[in-house]
Structure 1
C-alpha cells in the first residue's frame, strides 16, 4: 500500500506539484512495452469541459484487458485514482462520456490525480451484453477480479514512465459492478488501495443477478408469459407508500429514511370490480408482495437478503416494469444475460431465460462461478490491517441492487471486526433515502448522484484521520 499522507506530512504533500510535461513526453509513450502488455496509443488531450490537459494513454494487458490511463500534463498531485465500470462493462471509458462521476475518471482528474479505468477484459455491445462470456472462463476471470489488479499495474508503469516516480497514494471508486470491484479490491488486493469508495455494490452477483432478479422476473410473469404489472401504476403505488411511510422517521420530507421502519398496507388500492388504472388487481398486488419479500425456496428459506424496497417506485420503469414508451426493464436484461452466459459453470446459452431459474436446485449450481465473481466476504481484516479506509454508500430506493444486502454485509463485517466501533476505524456506511441505483435517475425531490461527493471526505480521512460524517456534496 502506498504510504498514507499523515498529518505531519500534509504540508509537504500539499507542495507536491509535478512540473509541466511536453507533448512529446506523452506521445513518446506510444509503443511502450511492459511485462505482459503494451501501449497502443498516446495523445495529448487539451483542457476542456472542466478537465485539465492530460496525456491519454490506451494500453492492453494481455490477453485482452483494454485500459485507459489519463496523466495530467501539469499539476499532478502525486496520487492515483482508479475507476470501476458498470454492468457487464465492455465499453472502455463509458462513464467518462457523460458528465456524471459514477465509475468515471473525472473526479480524480479534476483534482490532479493520475487516473485509469478498464473495459474489464472484453468488448461488449452494451453493458447488459454478456455474450462475450459464453464458455470463456478467461474473460470471466478478468471481469471477476483480474482486471482490477492489471489496471493498477499498467497505470503504475505509465506513471513511473511519465513522471519519473510512483504515486504516493491510491484510491478506487466504483458503483454497482464498480462497487463489487471495490469490495473485490479490498479482499484480493488489500494493500493496493489506501482508500476505496464503494457505491450500491452488486457484491453477490450469483445471489443478486441470477437468483433475486430471476425471482422478480418470475413474480411478474403470468402463465402465458406476459407481464402482470405493466408500466403505468408505479405512481399509484408510490403515492400510497409515501403516504404511509414518509413520517415514520418523524419528518415529512418526501423521503423514506428507512423502508424497514414502515409496514405498508396496499389493500386500499385493491380493485373492487374490474381492473382500472386507479387500482391494483389481485394479481398485481401479488407481484408487489413477492417483490417486497425477495427470493425464497419452497421451504421458505430466504435466498437473498430482502426484496424491492419501499420508496423505489419512482424508478421501477427503468429497472422492473418497463417505460411507457418502451425500453427499460433492465433487471430482466441483466438476469437473462447473466444466466445464459455467466452464472453457471456450463453456460446454457441464449435459449435460457430467467423463468427457467429453479429456486430449489439452481442456487447450489451457482457456487463455482460465485468464487470468481462475488466479493461479499465480510472479512476485510487484511485491508483494515494495512490501514485502508473505505466509504460504502447505497440508496434506500435502489430497485436493482437492493440495499438490504449492503446492510447485511456491514453488520457481518462489524461482527468480524469485533464490533461496529472497530469497523468504523476503517469503514463508513452511508444509506441515502430516496436515492435511485447509483443516483442515476433523479428522484421526486431531485436527488441524484450530482448531490453526492464521497471523495472529499475520503481525502480528509486519509490525510488527517478525520472520519467522514456525510457524503452529501457541499452547497
Structure 2
C-alpha cells in the first residue's frame, strides 16, 4: 500500500496499535453505517489511503481531563460518559514522504443527535491535535462532528523521536504537516466521512484551538479559506519561530547573570506589579485590566518581603530585580533595539508554563542552580534550528542566541510563521475569526497576539476594509495560557459568540467572562457575576456598578463608591 516502505516499521506498528486501542468499542452492538465499508477515501492526488476503521463507542468517560471551557459542556459526562458516537479513523500517507497520518472523526451515532455542524480541533505544543482529549468529547456532547489529526506523529512521541531523520536532517514532511498541510486534509477527509455517514452535508464548519491550535486556526483560514466558516483562535502561537526561540531567553538571562530567583521571590515581584496596577480598571481584585494605566517599575520591588511555602522568608534581592528587568525588556539586538517583545505586568514567571523555573543544590543559595526550560523551546532550538539532539541551548552566549534567533526566522517563517497575516481570501468567502488572548499568559505574551492583529488591521486598512468586519480580537484580564489558573473570569461562551456571528450575523461586541472555583465535589462552580471583555482596543472598567468599555487612556466617573475602590 505504501509506494515505499515506511522508514520506521516500529513507529508504524506503535501507531496502529494505539489506534486500535483508541477505537475499541465498549458495546457489542454497532450501527449499520458505523462500518469501514461506508466510507470512501476522497480523491486527492497527493495522498494514498492506507486504512479506515470505524467503531461504535458507548459510555466514553475520559472527559474532562483538565480545566478548560470543555469542562462546562456537561455536569455529568465525567461519570456517565458522553453520548454514543462512531469513531472513524482514516490513515493515509503522502507518497514519497514516508509518513503515516491519522485523522480521527467522532460522529454522534444517531443522525438526530447531530447538530449539522462540523468542528476541526487543534493541538498544543508540538502536538498537532488532541486525539483523545476534552475537545472531541465536548464537541460530541454538544452535537458536533469532531475531527482531529495527529499530523503524522502521535501526541505521546516527543520531537526527539520524529523531528530529525538523522542529525542535521529535518523531517520536512512532518514539519509541513505540523505547520499547515494536515489541517487542510483534516477538513477534506473529515467532511467526506461526515457526508458518507449521514448522507448529508454540514451546514457550517468551524475550527477552534488554543496555543498551537490557535495558530493552526489562523493558518488554515489564510492558506485554505474554503475549509471553515468560522475560527476561534485562543492565545495563538503566532510568529512561531521567533516566539518559541524567545522563550529560552529568560533562562539565558539567569545564567548570564549567575542568579536564579526562586519561585517565591519571583512571585513577590509579580505581586508588586499587580498591586501597583490593580486599580487601573477601577476594581481591586488581583487582576490587571488596563496595561496602559500601569507604569510598573520592576526596581520598586527590591526589598519587598516574601515567604515561601516551605517556611523560608526573605526580601527581593537586587540580583532578582536585575534579572527580571532584563527579561521584561525582551530580546534586544546589538544596538539595543527590540527584536521580540516580552512579558507584561501580572504575568507569572515561575510555575507550570513559566519560563524562569530552576532547581538549586541549596535553596538558600540562588547562585548555584540549573535552569529548567520550557520543553518546547528547548526542543525547537536543539532539533529544528541546530538540528543536533546533543546541542545544549543553555551554553549560548548573547551573540550565539541572537544568531540562533535570526536563523530560526529565516529558515522556518514560510512554513510555520505568520510574516504576513493576510486574510483577504477568507474574508471574501465570508469567513469569521474570533480571537482572544489572556493578558496574564506566561507562555505567549499578549504583546505577540496584539502585534499580529495590528499588523493584519493595517493590511486591511490599506484596502479600505475595517478588520472588525470579519476578525475581532479581545484581551482577557487575568487569564493565563488557554486556561484561568487562578479563577480569573474566563470567556466560556466565546465559541457561541463566534457561531452567532457566522450563522446569524450578530458580531460580538463583547465577551462575557465568569470566574470559577472548584467545589467540594470536584466540580466546577461558575460565578454568577459577569465581567465584560471589551472589543480591542477598548478596555473594561468598573464604574462602581458595572463593567463598561472605554478607550485606552479614557477616564470615567465612578457612579457609586465601593469598599474595594
Q: In the alignment, is the contact (CA less than 8 A) between 2:333 and 2:402 conserved in 1?
A: yes
In 2, Cα distance between equivalents of 1:31 and 1:259: 52
Counterpart of 1:55 (choices 86, 92, 96) is: 86
Match of 1:269 in 2: 301
In 1, Cα distance between equivalents of 2:349 and 2:378: 24
Counterpart of 2:103 (choices 43, 67, 73) is: 67
Over 3 Å counting, the alpha-carbon distance change for 1:123 and 1:354 in structure 2 is farther
Over 3 Å counting, the alpha-carbon distance change for 1:166 and 1:315 in structure 2 is farther
In 1, Cα distance between equivalents of 2:469 and 2:118: 23
Match of 1:294 in 2: 330
Q: Deviations over 1:235-280 (max 9, x none)?
A: 312321111000122222221013343111343432499x984322
Match of 1:161 in 2: 196
SS at match of 1:347: coil
In 2, Cα distance between equivalents of 1:289 and 1:242: 16
Match of 1:83 in 2: 121
In 2, Cα distance between equivalents of 1:65 and 1:429: 33
Match of 2:390 in 1: 350
Q: In the alignment, is the contact (CA less than 8 A) between 1:295 and 1:302 conserved in 2?
A: yes
In 2, Cα distance between equivalents of 1:375 and 1:64: 27
Match of 2:498 in 1: 458
Deviation at 1:76, TM superposition (A): 1.4
In 1, Cα distance between equivalents of 2:326 and 2:282: 28
Match of 1:387 in 2: 430
SS at match of 2:346: coil
Q: In the alignment, is the contact (CA less than 8 A) between 1:58 and 1:67 conserved in 2?
A: yes
Match of 2:378 in 1: 336
Q: Deviations over 1:42-66 (max 9, x none)?
A: 1111255263211011221313222
Over 3 Å counting, the alpha-carbon distance change for 1:90 and 1:180 in structure 2 is closer
Q: Deviations over 1:430-464 (max 9, x none)?
A: 1000001001x522xx1276x52211111111121
In 2, Cα distance between equivalents of 1:83 and 1:267: 43
In 2, Cα distance between equivalents of 1:406 and 1:272: 32
Match of 2:69 in 1: none
Deviation at 1:93, TM superposition (A): 1.5
**174-183 vs 352-361, greater mean Cα deviation:** 352-361
SS at match of 2:450: helix
Match of 2:147 in 1: 116
Over 3 Å counting, the alpha-carbon distance change for 1:448 and 1:142 in structure 2 is farther
Match of 2:519 in 1: none
Q: Deviations over 1:88-122 (max 9, x none)?
A: 006751433xxxxxxx2234322211110112221
Whether 2:266 is the aligned partner of 1:239: answer no
Q: In the alignment, is the contact (CA less than 8 A) between 1:209 and 1:335 conserved in 2?
A: yes
Counterpart of 1:93 (choices 131, 137, 146) is: 131
Q: Deviations over 1:146-200 (max 9, x none)?
A: 1101111111221122111222211000100001101101111112110000000
SS at match of 2:331: coil
Counterpart of 1:132 (choices 144, 155, 162) is: 162
Whether 2:258 is the aligned partner of 1:219: answer no
Gaps in structure 2 of 5+ consecutive residues: 1-28, 61-76, 94-98, 165-169, 364-370, 515-527, 529-565
Whether 2:474 is the aligned partner of 1:430: answer yes
Deviation at 1:380, TM superposition (A): 0.9
In 1, Cα distance between equivalents of 2:489 and 2:153: 30
Q: In the alignment, is the contact (CA less than 8 A) between 2:267 and 2:350 conserved in 1?
A: no
Match of 1:27 in 2: 35
Whether 2:354 is the aligned partner of 1:319: answer yes
SS at match of 2:355: helix
Gaps in structure 1 of 5+ consecutive residues: 1-20, 97-103
SS at match of 1:252: coil
Deviation at 1:22, TM superposition (A): 6.2
Match of 1:3 in 2: none
Q: In the alignment, is the contact (CA less than 8 A) between 1:187 and 1:375 conserved in 2?
A: no
Counterpart of 2:316 (choices 258, 277, 280) is: 280
Whether 2:509 is the aligned partner of 1:469: answer yes
Match of 1:5 in 2: none
Larger radius of gyration: 2
Over 3 Å counting, the alpha-carbon distance change for 1:30 and 1:295 in structure 2 is farther
Match of 1:369 in 2: 412
In 1, Cα distance between equivalents of 2:207 and 2:247: 27
In 2, Cα distance between equivalents of 1:147 and 1:120: 5
Over 3 Å counting, the alpha-carbon distance change for 1:94 and 1:293 in structure 2 is farther
Q: In the alignment, is the contact (CA less than 8 A) between 1:395 and 1:432 conserved in 2?
A: yes
What are the residue-to-residue correspondences of 1:185-200 with 2, within 5 Å? 185-200=220-235
In 2, Cα distance between equivalents of 1:59 and 1:473: 38
In 1, Cα distance between equivalents of 2:120 and 2:221: 13
Tell me the C-alpha RMSD between the 2 structures: 3.0
Over 3 Å counting, the alpha-carbon distance change for 1:297 and 1:26 in structure 2 is same
Q: In the alignment, is the contact (CA less than 8 A) between 1:436 and 1:448 conserved in 2?
A: no
SS at match of 2:255: coil
In 2, Cα distance between equivalents of 1:156 and 1:318: 35
How many pairs does the alignment contain? 434
- Normalized against structure 1, the TM-score is what? 0.83
Deviation at 1:230, TM superposition (A): 2.5
